[in-house]
Structure 1
Amino acid sequence: MAFEGLAERLQSTIKKITGKGKVSEQDVKEMTREIRLALLEADVNFKVVKDLIKRIKERAVGQEVMESLTPGQQVIKVVKEELTELMGGEQSKIAVSDRPPTVIMMVGLQGAGKTTTTGKLANLLRKKHNRSPLLVACDVYRPAAIKQLETLGGQLDMPVFSMGTEAKPVDIAKKAIEKAKEEHRDYVLIDTAGRLHVDTELMGELDEIKAAVKPDEIFLVVDAMTGQDAVNVAESFNDQLDVTGVVLTKLDGDTRGGAALSIRAVTGKAIKFAGMGEKLDQLEPFHPERMASRILGMGDVLTLIEKAQASVDEKQAKALEEKMRNASFTFDDFLEQMGQVKQMGPLDDLLAMIPGANKMKGLKNVQIDDKQLVHVEAIIKSMTKKERQDPSIMNASRKKRIAKGSGTSVSQVNRLLKQFDEMKKMMKQMTNMQKGKKGKGFKLPFNPF
């Protein structure tokens, strides 16, 4: 999960003050000191930390907290609101042109993931907003970049405009917009050249493209794992181009989170999207409030629901709910459901979105390895159709055969069978309790380990 180290430190710090019936200035002083250290260790800009701590202190020892019936909870509310504000306050949406197409310039240093992010953004615009983007290959200095964009276009079944490596980038951009108008495209996404560092030649070329096509948005793509360097890069690009927003890549990686928490405060530019994985559907709109909730261990139910709605087929979900009600849920159904949940992303990330999951007995500090689900899948696929439909027929020889076929042990097969049986009983109880309630009937599967 993004901000994992920072989240652990902050959650540990605020836990000490949460349940307090009375909060003293000394309590606030100790808490803000811990928060300051946690943020600095996470590579957050020093000035940003100083300003944030000042605001938290002023509010936490103010009237709204000290005279509250639940001062501990009020302090946490203050911390969450200030973190949210630090990252931009509200979600910043894409500016849309009154006269299509909407033109978006993608800029950034080489290696930040700019070309892949261009493909991801096009995919998001089509899937979520039903738009028809045109991808434009303007990085003429790296033939591999043009090839990469064309490959992404092929994977997405989306057009890519290219004039090879001999044409000038500014001419390619202008011709692409003409092409987009002819084909009634909603968006033009221009993948520009990057360098290993910010230089005059690069900025001159980007300025030329900006002047020629007058983009509605200039998105700076920044690698979140580069820490404070990401903030310096953002400042340089913003000074030269006046970027309109930032896209953070690799936010799912082993990042300390400082870049995400610093960029908005230092540049004044909103973080518009965040890359949460390598797959082409793993780009998310950046919601400051939801991210603050996740960092503080309060979960992110809205994003979880959106992921579920995007991954779960409504007809299948209703059929599944009916099977749960009458206890006819089989291993085939479970396999299908597991596939849908896998589409939603890593299980560790999904678990982090459930409020209080980190405090639940049995889930605290649990490390969910998605690779373990491969063993579960292998066990189920090693069963015959009859065994999947009716696990009660399992005997010793059948279990031995399944274990051998799936590359697992008989004890792993037994564990899965036992937990599947327990899950069916639990689902029956839950669906009985939910009778008469509306909903898609979507359930997360049990943790088989």
Structure 2
Amino acid sequence: MFESITKNLNEAFSAFRIGGKLTEKNIRDGLQQVRQALLEADVSYDVTKEFIDKVAEEAVGDKVLKSLDPTEQVVGIVYQELVNLMGPVDHSLAIKRNDVSVIMMVGLQGSGKTTTCGKLARLLKEQGHRPLLVAADLQRPAAIEQLRVIGEQIGVPVYSEDPKTSSPLKVCQNGVKQAKKTGDADIVILDTAGRLHVDDELMAELEAIDRKVRPDQALLVCDAMTGQDAVNSAKTFNEALEIDGVILSKMDGDTRGGAALSVKQVTGVPIKFIGVGEQLDRLEEFHPDRMASRIMGGGDLQTLMEKAQREFDADDMERQQQKMREGKFSLEDFRNQMRKVRSMGPMKEIMKMIPGMGGMLDAADNVDADKEMSRIEAIIGSMTMDERENPQKIDRNRRNRIAIGSGCDPTDVSQLLKQYDSIAGMMKGMAGGGMKDQWKAMRQMQEMGMSDPSGALPKEKNRSKRGGLVSKEEKRKQNKKQKQARKKNRRK
């Protein structure tokens, strides 16, 4: 996600450091490159111009140039303006307490509207609601059947009628009536028809549904990969229907980010959700601050923690912590944890949420993390349960057997065993602090990433000789030792 704009922005930020000292000329040269990066990301020209003007107004002045770290000040200003550009966002969906709420989903054909209806229904079901999907797309062949299949997968009922004898308006009206009559649903999601482009017939149909069904919320689904086309269609839909929010689909395939950066500014309508994969659980709330951090290569630990909390069972994690403390973390445990991590999404996207990892992945673009993990799973799967629990028993003969069973080279098995020894030792040390300390450490990393959105590491003067961050307690001990040494020298 956003690989292209992230790379171009980081190159632009390097222009601020040319010559060793930040000057007004350096800032303007750097902002010119930022402008170019935004335009290449397919951000609207007017939006780009206004953005650069605001950053320049904040960045060029004595307050920044005479600050302790002017370069980081400028980077921070760019980050904050990106947040302002995409926000603020209200994720609420105007859901009624004691009545049926109606959400009308609109969009062009190919935008992923029907799949997004299913994703939204699944998300609402997880939140304790009882959604009903209404198949009102009578134009596209197999649209009704597609929605039925999705409904079965997520356990949500689907209301439909024969397209030969009904109309989109009638289907929507009857679907809402059924929900109110039976009381089985508290939210109705209308999957309306789309077209290959915006036309009068489409808008007349949607306006009729909007006028007579009176939905509580109208959400537009846009394909993020279409860039400015998505922005233009959002503007047209909003002028006709006054939409309440945008859902950007296919964000996982968007390397530029033009739609995400332009929609709010051009239409005044916030992006409420983003689709980050084909699976029905790949719908996330849109957070401008987190997205700005991703765009600037600073990761997104908050979203990563939320994903981990959904996928990992707290009791199971506590059991694994205990195993680590006792040095009993086996290859079977390692494989199980790896599978849970993979269930959170593609490894490349997961790793890019960690501050600093995005640049490392770009530098090693020939490394396929998911393929590597599949290879590791195959190796462990070729071992007996006794070998997984006691890797030290694996000798040359066993190693060759495992290599043949997993379709790899014996050296790959040896390398995995060496990596496991290192990982097991590291995890045993990490486990000493317990669950609370682990989450606290992640929050501290997140705060560090937010204070430095570019993802830069802490200054060398703030690091210990071992390469880690110097804690207050460690610094206090160091000062105490230095004082004792000075007293000892004075006595001599």
- TM-score bracket for the superposition, by shorter chain length: over 0.9
Between 7-16 and 276-285, report the one with greater CA deviation: 7-16
Gaps of 5+ in 1: 444-449
Q: Structure 1 residues 316 and 241 mapped into 2: Cα distance closer, same or farther (>3 Å)?
A: same
1:139 maps to 137
Distance 2:54 2:94 in 1: 31
AA matched with 1:167: S
Is contact 1:19-1:73 (8 Å) kept? no
Q: 1:340-367: CA deviations, max 9, x gaps?
A: 101111111111111222466x995454
Matched residue, 2:119: 120
Cα distance, 1:109–1:436 mapped onto 2, change above 3 Å: closer
TM-score, L = length of structure 2: 0.85
2:229 is equivalent to residue 229 of structure 1: yes
Contact 1:14 1:31 in 2 (8 A): yes
Aligned 8 A contact 1:297 1:358 in 2: yes
Q: Quick one: distance in 1 between partners of 2:29 and 2:19?
A: 14
Q: What displacement does 1:12 show?
A: 2.4
Instruction: Tell me how far 1:152 sits from its aligned partner.
Output: 0.2
Work out whether residues 318 and 435 of structure 2, in 8 Å CA contact, stay in contact via their aligned partners in 1: no
Could you say what secondary structure the match of 2:289 adopts?
A: helix
Comparing 262-271 and 88-97, the one that deviates more:
88-97
Q: 1:338 to 1:20 in 2, by over 3 A?
A: farther
CA distance 1:179–1:442, change in 2 (3 Å): farther
Q: Equivalent residues in 2 for 1:183-202 (5 A)?
A: 183-202=183-202
Structure 2 match to 1:130: 128
Q: In structure 2, what is the Cα distance between the partners aligned to 1:200 and 1:116?
A: 25
| Number of the residue aligned with 1:56 | 55
- Partner deviation per Cα, 1:381-427 (whole Å, 9 max, x = no partner): 11001101101010111111111111111111111111011111111
Quick check: 1:6–1:256 contact (8 Å CA) kept in 2? yes
Task: Using the TM superposition, give the Cα deviation of residue 264 of structure 1 relative to its aligned residue in structure 2, in angstroms.
Answer: 1.1
- Structure 1 Cα separation of the partners of residues 123 and 19 of structure 2: 44
CA contact (8 A) 1:317 1:441 kept: no
Equivalent residue for 1:148? 146
Q: Which one-letter code corresponds to 2:282 in the other structure?
A: Q
Distance 1:237 1:339 in 2: 42
Q: Which amino acid counterpart does residue 144 of structure 1 have in structure 2?
A: A
The alpha-carbon deviation at position 98 of structure 1 amounts to 5.0
Relative distance call for 1:436 and 1:309 in structure 2 (3 A) is closer
Over 3 Å counting, the alpha-carbon distance change for 1:60 and 1:278 in structure 2 is same
Indicate the residue corresponding to 2:204 in structure 1: 204
State the AA in 1 paired with 2:42.
D
Task: Write the distance in 2 (CA, Å) between the matches of 1:387 and 1:82.
Answer: 55
Letter in 2 for 1:323: K
* Counterparts of 2:12 and 2:340, CA distance in 1: 36
CA contact (8 A) 1:56 1:78 kept: yes
Deviations along 1:2-46, whole A, 9 cap, x unmatched? 111001111222245379985321111011100010111111111
Helix, strand or coil: the match of 1:247? strand
Q: Which moved more, 1:20-29 or 1:131-140?
A: 20-29
Aligned positions, number: 439
- For 2:240, the equivalent position in structure 1 comes to 240
CA shift, 1:437, in A, is: 4.8
1:277-292 mapped onto 2 (5 Å cutoff): 277-292=277-292
- Distance in 1, matches of 2:112 and 2:260, equals 16
Distance in 2 (CA, whole Å) between partners of 1:152 and 1:24 is: 57
Contact 1:90 1:289 in 2 (8 A): no
Give 1:95 deviation, angstroms. 2.4
**2:3 corresponding residue in structure 1:** 4
Q: 2: distance between equivalents of 1:436 and 1:201? A: 57
1:378 maps to a residue whose letter is A
Question: How big is the shift at 1:435?
Answer: 5.2
Higher-helix-fraction structure: 2
Going from structure 1 to structure 2, the CA distance change for 1:305 and 1:18 (only over 3 Å counts) comes to farther
Alignment of 1:363-442 (within 5 A): 364-365=363-364, 367-432=367-432, 434=433, 437-438=436-437
Quick check: 1:340 aligned with 2:340?
yes
> 1:20 and 1:152 mapped to 2: Cα distance?
58
1:57-106 Cα distance to aligned partner (Å, 9 max, x none): 00111454234222222111110111111112345432223543221111
Q: Note if contact 2:301-2:354 (Cα within 8 Å) is conserved in structure 1.
A: yes
Q: Distance in 1 between matches of 2:359 and 2:174?
A: 56
Inter-CA distance 20–316: structure 2 relative to 1 (3 Å threshold):
farther
What is the identity percentage for the equivalent residue pairs of Structure 1 and Structure 2?
A: 47
Structure 2 segments unaligned to the other structure (5+ residues): 443-492
Contact kept in structure 2, 1:108 and 1:220, CA below 8 Å: yes
Deviates more, 1:287-296 or 1:83-92: 83-92
Structure 1: which 4+ aligned runs deviate by more than 4 Å? 18-22, 435-443
The whole-number CA distance in structure 2 between the counterparts of 1:436 and 1:279 is 30
1:317-356 residue CA offsets vs partner (Å, 9 max, x unmatched): 1101111111101111111111110111111111111122
1:74 and 1:381, CA in 2 relative to 1: closer, same or farther beyond 3 A?
same
SS in 2 for 1:370: helix
One-letter amino acid of the counterpart of residue 130, structure 1: G
Aligned residues of 1:21 and 1:72 also touching (Cα < 8 A)? no
Counterpart AA for 2:192: T
Question: 1:148, 1:10 → 2: CA distance?
Answer: 40
- SS of alignment partner, residue 252 of structure 1: helix
Asked if 1:316 corresponds to 2:335, the answer is no
User: What is the distance in 2 between the residues matched to 1:238 and 1:335?
Assistant: 48
State the distance in 1 between where 2:331 and 2:18 align: 44
Residue type at the aligned position of 2:380 = I
How many Å separate the matches in 2 of 1:18 and 1:340? 42
What SS does the aligned partner of 1:146 have? helix
SS in 1 for 2:95: coil
Matching of residues 94-109 of structure 1 within 5 Å: 94-97=93-96, 99-109=98-108
AA in 1 matched with 2:343:
Q
Instruction: Give 1:391's aligned amino acid.
Output: P
- CA distance in 2 between counterparts of 1:158 and 1:435 reads 39
